[in-house]
Every structure is written in C-alpha cells, then in structure tokens.
C-alpha cells in the first residue's frame, strides 16, 4: 500500500503549482488546461496502469487509482483517467500503442466500422477537442485523431468538456481486434475511475470544510463548535472514508496486473455515488453562503461530485447490477459473496 501512498503524494505535489483557482477558471472557459496536462504527462502519471510495452508507465489499477484520487482532490481539469486507466489499457489489450498526448474514450458507442471508415455519433466524450479518441466498435479497438469528425462541444456541471462527436466518414489512425470482454472491462474501469476521483474530491471537501468551520466565528465561537455543524463534519468524514475504502478495495482487488471484479466495482461505485451527494449537501450546509460563491473553492469540487456520480452508468444502475449479482446465488450464498474480501497469496 505504501507505493500507492507515495504515488498519491507525488501527484498531489505535482499539481500544487499548476492547478490553481485561476487555472481552473481558465480551463472552464477554454476547455483545456495545458499546464496541468503537461505536469501530469511529463511525470508519466497519465499512463499509470498502461504496460510499458504499449508506451505507458506500467503499474497496477490500484496505482492508477491513487493518481486519480490526487487528481480528484485537486479538481485537475484534464483526461487523466481516460488516457491511462481507460483508453490506454484498452489499446494495450488490443496490441496497439497509446498515442502520445491526451486520449479519451466512452462506453460502447453506437458506431459502426466497415474496416475503412466509421459511421455514427457518440456523446458525452470527455475532452474530444483535445484528445485522441479510442473506442470499441464491432469488436475492434479504433483510434481517431483529436478533434476528428464534427465535434459539438458540451460540458458537465463542473464545466469539463463532454462533447458530442459525429464520426461519420472518419478514417481511424489505427484499428485492431479486441477481446469480447474489452467493452465490459472498460465499463468497469470507467466506473472505478469515477469512484477514485470522487474519493479524492471528497477528501478535499472534508479538509476545506473543517478548516472553514474552524475559522468562521458566529455567536463568539467557531461554528464547528456547534454540535449541529460538527455533525455535518462527521457525516462528511464518514462518507469520505466509506467512499475511499470502497474505491481502494475495488482497485486493490485487481492485483498487480489484473482487472477489477464486477462485484467490487459495482459496490464501490454505488457507495461513492451516494457519498458524493451526501458530502456535497453537508459541506454546503456547513459552509453557508460563502460556500456558494465562485471564489471559495468548494464549488469546483461539489460540481465534480455531482457530475462524476452520474457518469459510466451512474450509482443506481450499478446498485441494480450489484443487487441482481448478490441475489443470484440465493440466501445461503449472500454472506459468503459479500464478505469475500481481499486475500493475500502467502500465509
């Protein structure tokens, strides 16, 4: 675990310089944050969990999620999850090398591919203007250059680009067949990436809210001294620990080289998605009107929590999947299934 801790700390350090409030405002205006991207890209942090043979930095899913926790805490407005853990691993599995620069992806899009050109459109593509796009179409992983096709810019609540792209007539720069599991595995990694980002942002919300309520005085004392306000802080701390434990456990379950398990990802995302809403509500209540202002810095985090919890299927869909999964074996299998945690090989 210490390796992941060090990685998380390293990324936190790297982001401290470029990921300023001004840079976040500019990123919302321009749709791109070149200094933030450079810092992460130059350190090799954007391609953790992508094998070195495919041009990545190597490492496990848990290490990639450690990077994402730090990115979530800093509200880093760049496609780190998409470049490495999601698209990077997808391309590596198809035997393709990962383009140098930001890469993005989406879940099973409604596209078709005749071996020459693509047809159809995809929506909700993160940073489509700036990033190469890697998707699975008709059993093949295909890559197109940044800004290919007709891009109609869109955004999520946090002002992060989520674009509509019509790829009809676009010729991929690379294509290779990929295993039938690739789409499902990508979907799981997508959900896990959001759980890790939520866990990171949650921790930052906790720190910010504890600090503010400790400084802000009303009725002659810090508002955190009032039990009703303190209860909000405890609620944020509890949900942060739950989301963090969930995301890290699902990531650790993938081992050194493997993929996260369906049950683990479903549980982690369900917990993180619910935590996101509870944390945002409690933090805004505790920080009052100040927390609602653009300058305070809570909004860049809560707007991300409100966005990420709905991506890659959203909390309810994963909870539904989990419900069917744990009920499938009947009553006797329920506890053994839910309690099957991590087990190390050695005694």
Binding to another protein by residue 290, rule CB under 8 A?
no
What are the structure tokens assigned to 270, written together? 């369900």
Could you tell me the smallest distance in angstroms from the CB atom of residue 26 to another protein? 30
Can residue 152 be called a binding residue for another protein (CB under 8 A)?
A: no
Phi first, then psi, for residue 163 (nearest 5°) are -100, 160
CA 19/CA 234 separation, integer angstroms: 28
Among 214, 218, 257, 294, binds another protein (CB under 8 A): 214
Pair 200, 7: CB distance under 8 Å: no
Residue 67: which of 87, 52, 93, 85 has the closest Cα?
85
Nearer to another protein by C-beta: 180 or 330?
A: 330
Q: Which is nearer to another protein, 127 or 308 (CB)?
A: 308
Q: Which residues pair with 118 in a beta bridge?
A: 113
Task: Tell the smallest beta-carbon distance from residue 281 to another protein (Å).
Answer: 16
Tell how strand 118-126 and strand 111-113 pair up: antiparallel
Q: Which helix (H) or strand (E) holds 73?
A: helix 61-74
Looking at the Cβ atoms of 180 and 227, the one nearer to another protein is: 227
Which residues are CB-contacts of 172 (< 8 A; sequence separation ≥ 6)? 113, 118, 142, 143, 144
Count the residues of the shown chain that bind another protein, applying the rule CB under 8 A: 58
Among the residue ranges 120-128, 132-140, 149-157, 248-256, the one whose residues contact another protein (CB under 8 A): 248-256
Grouping H, G, I as helix, E, B as strand and the rest as coil, residue 263 is helix
Task: Compute the least distance from the CB of residue 292 to another protein, in Å.
Answer: 21
Residue with smaller CB distance to another protein, 136 or 271: 271
Among 150, 234, 290, 292, binds another protein (CB under 8 A): 234
258 touches another protein by CB under 8 A: no
Kind and range of the H or E element at 306?
helix 299-308
Binding of another protein by 244 (CB under 8 A): yes
Q: Which residue has the tokens 């982001």?
A: 15
Question: Is the C-alpha dihedral spanning 100, 251, 77, 45 positive or negative?
Answer: negative
What does the binding site for another protein look like in residue numbers (CB under 8 A)?
1, 207, 210-211, 213-214, 222, 224-225, 227, 230-231, 233-234, 237-238, 241-242, 244-246, 248-249, 252, 263-264, 266-268, 270-271, 274, 316, 318-327, 330-332, 334-336, 338-339, 341-347
């Amino acid at each position: 675990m210490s390796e992941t801790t060090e990685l998380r700390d390293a990324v936190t350090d790297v982001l401290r310089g470029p990921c300023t409030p001004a840079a976040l405002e500019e990123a919302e205006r321009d749709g791109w944050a070149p200094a933030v991207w450079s810092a992460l890209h130059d350190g090799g942090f954007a391609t953790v969990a992508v094998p070195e043979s495919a041009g990545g930095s190597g490492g496990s899913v848990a290490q990639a999620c450690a990077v994402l926790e730090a990115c979530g805490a800093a509200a880093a407005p760049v496609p780190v999850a998409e470049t490495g853990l999601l698209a990077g691993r997808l391309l590596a599995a198809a035997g393709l090398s990962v383009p140098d620069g930001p890469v993005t992806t989406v879940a099973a899009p409604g596209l078709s591919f005749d071996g020459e050109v693509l047809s159809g459109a995809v929506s909700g593509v993160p940073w489509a203007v700036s990033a190469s796009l890697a998707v699975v179409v008709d059993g093949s992983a295909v890559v197109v250059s940044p800004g290919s096709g007709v891009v109609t810019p869109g955004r999520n609540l946090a002002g992060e680009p989520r674009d509509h792209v019509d790829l009809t007539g676009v010729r991929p720069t690379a294509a290779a067949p990929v295993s039938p599991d690739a789409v499902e595995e990508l979907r799981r990694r997508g959900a896990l990436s959001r759980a890790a980002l939520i866990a990171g942002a949650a921790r930052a919300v906790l720190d910010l809210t504890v600090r503010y309520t400790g400084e802000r005085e009303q009725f002659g004392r810090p508002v955190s001294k009032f039990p009703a306000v303190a209860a909000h802080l405890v609620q944020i701390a509890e949900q942060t620990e739950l989301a963090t434990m969930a995301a890290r456990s699902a990531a650790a379950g993938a081992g050194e080289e493997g993929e996260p398990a369906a049950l683990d990802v479903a549980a982690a995302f369900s917990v993180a998605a619910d935590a996101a809403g509870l944390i945002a509500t409690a933090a805004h209540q505790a920080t009052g009107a100040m927390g609602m202002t653009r300058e305070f810095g809570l909004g860049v985090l809560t707007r991300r929590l409100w966005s990420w919890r709905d991506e890659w299927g959203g909390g309810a869909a994963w909870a539904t999947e989990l419900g069917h999964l744990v009920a499938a074996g009947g009553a006797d299998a329920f506890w053994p299934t839910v309690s099957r945690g991590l087990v190390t090989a050695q005694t």
